[in-house]
Amino acid sequence: MTIQDIYKAVVDFDDEAVPGLIEKEIKAGTDAKKILDEGLIAAMDYVGKLFSEGELFVPEMLMAATAMKAGLNILKPQLAKSGGATIGVVVIGTVKGDLHDIGKNLVGMMLEGGGFEVYDLGADVEPAKFVAAAKEKKANIVGLSALLTTTMPYMEDTVNALKEAGLTSKVIIGGAPVTAAYAEKIGAAGYSDDAPGAVELARSLVK
């Protein structure tokens, strides 16, 4: 039994096998951070690559993310003990007035799989709620999702509310109608058109 088995179980969407394999690896004395990096994060990076290349689709990404999450639940207490578990804190949500949360959930799960500590505020989130959570969690990154052209302006309101509160969290945005030009226009730190891209973007912003 090796970390490769954990990697393979995530890539095979086997959410039932992953927790047991991680428990065994912990018992064998393997460092939790090594299991996270080489088992879970490496597998999600690979799944993300296949998605970007059009080899996998949203349902498969969600299944891989579910397997990753099942493993992360087992690993989290160990990671907390060893410290330095996360590479950054992300507060994420779908903006005010918008109930679409499938893409946002996927982005949140991929970010978690990518090594971030993620606080998901859900959908229909007021700018003030993003501000309060970013302050409380000391977020490095605030992630905003919008699927409606009518709710996109709340992204700008949220960027402004964070600035007015004096917070330095970097804002990343995404969702079907959103563009890089829009991100630049409203003063967001970046935009991604998919979940793996959001992980890459977030990693580049916390370096």
- Asked if 172 touches ligand B1M (CB under 6 A), the answer is yes
3-state secondary structure of 86: coil
- Asked if 122 touches ligand B1M (CB under 6 A), the answer is no
- Asked if 148 touches ligand B1M (CB under 6 A), the answer is yes
- The correct pick among 6, 109, 161, 195 for binding ligand B1M (CB under 6 A) is 195
- Asked if 114 touches ligand B1M (CB under 6 A), the answer is no
Q: Which is nearer to ligand B1M, 117 or 194 (CB)?
A: 194
Sketch the per residue contact string, 64 through 93, with ligand B1M: x for CB under 6 A, - otherwise.
----------------------------x-
Q: Which two tokens stand for residue 67?
A: 């397997």
- The correct pick among 30, 145, 158, 169 for binding ligand B1M (CB under 6 A) is 145
* Least distance from ligand B1M to the Cβ atom of residue 105, Å: 8
User: Is the CB of residue 160 less than 8 Å from the CB of residue 171?
Assistant: no
User: Is the CB of residue 57 less than 8 Å from the CB of residue 51?
Assistant: yes
Distances (CA, A) of 118 to 23, 100, 111, 159: 23, 18, 7, 19
Can you tell me the distance from the alpha carbon of 93 to that of 125, in angstroms, rounded to the nearest whole number? 6
